[in-house]
Amino acid sequence: MRRSKPLAAVATVAAMFALAACGGGGDDGDGNGGSGADRDFTETGAGDKDPEAQGPAPEVEGAQEGGTITVYLTSDPGPDSLDPTEGWSVTGNSIQQALTHRSLTQFMRNEDGDAILVPDLATDLGTPNEDYTEWTFTIKDDVTWETGDPITAEEVAFGITRSLDSETFPSGPGTEYSVHYFLDGDKYKGPYTDKGKSYDGVTFDEAARTVTIKMSTPFPDMDYWGSFMAMGPAPLGDTSNPPDYGKDPLTTGPYKIDSFRPQEELVLSRNDQWNPDSDPARHQYADGFVFKFNADQAQTDEIMLSGNAESQTAVSTGIGSDNYQQFDSELGDRLVQQGAQCISTLTPDYTKITDINVRKALAWAYPYEDIWLAGGEVPGVTRIPANSYMPPGMAGKKEYFADGEQFVFNPERSKELLAEAGYEPGEYEITMVYSEETLASAVQKQLVKGWEEGGFKVTGIPIAATESAYNIWLDPDNKINKKLNMRGVNWCSDWPSGSTMIPPLLKTGAVYNTALFSEADVDAEMDRIATIPLEEQADAWGALDEKIGTEYFPSIVTAFRNDLYAFGERVGSPAGLASIGAPYYQNLYVAAE
């Protein structure tokens, strides 16, 4: 799923030395990372599953009931709609899947900090047939809506069918997974666009409480896809009609929605109808949650550091790099560093920058450290150097280097490669957009300086600070977009598998393939991997990753991303959830004074 803030961060990267911290899972080898290095690095798990997990969720030691937790989501506008089918952003899904909306399966954080897949509405992780073309999920008997009505198999089936409607939910995750894998996903346009048509891909049996999904191609990752709230129930009839349903959707989790003002605030309160015995991962400790979107970073930092009553029950999903030292010394364990299975990429237009040496030269001339500093990141903490499309901790990831060694800022090497490709310094022109927002402008200045030193000529097209660069990059008819030969994407895995990293970014015609990369043998290999036995897939994705990186090098992965969360003094069990890169809201509680 994509990151909501592309520009300020698209270019930001951490310093070299942190690779040790990442690979070593805790200790920083060369001590160069400052105090950030002695912080335990929470690695992302490699996709464990526990189909046996049953509710209620294991009690958190010392947990208490009551209190309200305020979460500041700094510089993050949050979702515009709460419709579960629409949600495909880290912020929105992390909140809703943890607290308000249940789906077939879910992720849970185990004692080691790994994310493991456990059942949610379904009794287990689903039963596939032999070749993964048909999945059957049995819905638990004791699951209910916030109204107290039981959740029926028909409602679950209807919710799943909604995800096929890519016209009504153009930015929903169903556009990538349901449409691609479900039976007739390319023909049936969903219950709103194809009103009245019947659809045989998703069927239900109310008596047996089963929902059966038929696939057009084998889909072994259906159980992971089931952890998206889009794979949950939707009320039948007009109640769930978009777009109104997105303002106040009916909830099924331990909390219900009190009020929602997009880009400002989401208030949640206890849902009495939620049955803890049916839920193996969620808790209902706090009385309520308040999420503040677009929180000002400086203000949030002040609140979190003040230690006053307000800050004691607050959580911040980001901290300002200028205050990192103070946070680190004052908060201690309450400052959590979480690996997020996210990458930042720069995507040279594959149809315009056709020479692989030029693309490699761009990677060598990219001033990683300087850009990171200008972008307000913390070295070796929130950004670490990257070498592959698959993030650290993902099963099958290979430690390869596209140009022999780890890319660092090396303008001489860049000039050499440019000369090899037949270009004089200052001859090759790069055209890109940048936001006029202050951080992004500062990043752009460093980038231009680095690339110019490396022998490129850079033309930056400014866009308004309020506009998202994705609006330009993803619109093929945009007249600015047509001029660009450099774009970017920040991408996070949807579940720990190469299938959620490589195809969405590099398959011909994929929405977020802003490099416009297209190679027939790579496409064929992606299709092939989807059909081979599940055990072999991880390594196959890793091999494909290496093949793409070394043979084609279509885009520059500038960083693996990490997050920093600050927890108030009285917020219990501060931790992050690796699978989505967000605080583990499920376990938070407010301790007594």
Partner 1 sequence: MSLPTTGPETLGGTSEETALVDPNSSTAKEISGKSPMRIALGRLLRDKIAVVCAIVAFIFVLIALFAGVISKVLGVSLETPFASSVLDMLNGGLPKEGPPLHGFDPDHPFGIAPRTGEDNLAYWLYGCRTSMIIAGSATLVAATVGIVIGLVAGFTGGLVDKILSFVTDLFLTIPFLLAALTLAPIISERFSTSPHYFTIQRWTLIGVLAGFGWMGVARLIRGEVLSLREREFVQAARVLGMPTRRILVKELLPNLAAPIVVSVSLMLPAFVALEAGLAFLGIGVTDGASWGRTIDLAVPYFDTYPLYLYEPMIGITLLVLSLNLLGDAIRDALDPKTRR
Among 158, 219, 274, 324, binds partner 1 (CB under 8 A): 324
Smaller CB separation from partner 1, 472 or 556 = 472
Only one of the segments 161-169, 232-240, 319-327, 549-557 lies at the binding site for partner 1 (rule: CB under 8 A); that segment is 319-327
Those residues whose C-beta lies under 8 Å from the C-beta of residue 20, and which sit 6 or more positions away, are: 27, 28, 29, 30
Amino acid (1-letter code) at residue 176: E
Please give the radius of gyration of the chain, using alpha carbons only, rounded to the nearest integer: 23
Only one of the segments 346-354, 432-440, 546-554, 579-587 lies at the binding site for partner 1 (rule: CB under 8 A); that segment is 432-440
Q: Is 467 in the site for partner 1 (CB under 8 A)?
A: yes
Q: Is 42 in the site for partner 1 (CB under 8 A)?
A: no
Among 208, 236, 461, 534, binds partner 1 (CB under 8 A): 461
> Closest Cα partner for 459 from 434, 435, 492?
434
| Minimum distance, C-beta of residue 423 to partner 1, in the bound complex (Å) | 21
Only one of the segments 142-150, 187-195, 456-464, 575-583 lies at the binding site for partner 1 (rule: CB under 8 A); that segment is 456-464
Smaller CB separation from partner 1, 309 or 461 = 461
| Helices assigned H by DSSP within 236-279 | none
Number of residues that bind partner 1 (CB under 8 A): 43
Q: Is 502 in the site for partner 1 (CB under 8 A)?
A: no
517 phi/psi in degrees, rounded to 5: -70, 135
DSSP conformation class of 144: B
Q: For the window 365-404, what string marks contact with partner 1 as x by the rule CB under 8 A?
A: --x-xxxxxxxx-xx-------------------------
Only one of the segments 76-84, 228-236, 322-330, 581-589 lies at the binding site for partner 1 (rule: CB under 8 A); that segment is 322-330
- By three-state DSSP, how is residue 56 classified? coil
Q: Is 520 in the site for partner 1 (CB under 8 A)?
A: no
Smaller CB separation from partner 1, 217 or 431 = 431
Q: Is 294 in the site for partner 1 (CB under 8 A)?
A: no
Could you tell me what percentage of the chain is helix, strand and coil, using 3-state DSSP and rounding each to the nearest 5? 30, 20, 45
- By three-state DSSP, how is residue 267 classified? strand
Q: Is 198 in the site for partner 1 (CB under 8 A)?
A: no
Q: Is 12 in the site for partner 1 (CB under 8 A)?
A: no
Dihedral in degrees, nearest 10, Cα atoms 354, 357, 363, 365: -120
Those residues whose C-beta lies under 8 Å from the C-beta of residue 501, and which sit 6 or more positions away, are: 343, 389, 390, 391, 394, 491, 493, 541
Only one of the segments 67-75, 334-342, 439-447, 556-564 lies at the binding site for partner 1 (rule: CB under 8 A); that segment is 439-447
Smaller CB separation from partner 1, 66 or 462 = 462
> Closest Cα partner for 358 from 101, 554, 104, 498?
554
| Helices assigned H by DSSP within 2-109 | 7-10, 18-24, 90-99
Q: Is 34 in the site for partner 1 (CB under 8 A)?
A: yes
Smaller CB separation from partner 1, 370 or 494 = 370
Taking each continuous run of H as one helix and of E as one strand, the counts in the chain are 19, 22
Smaller CB separation from partner 1, 175 or 481 = 481
Cis amide leading into 243 (omega within 30): yes
**What residue ranges bind partner 1 (CB under 8 A)?**
15, 34-35, 297-298, 302, 320-325, 367, 369-376, 378-379, 436-439, 441-442, 445-446, 449-450, 461-467, 479-480, 483
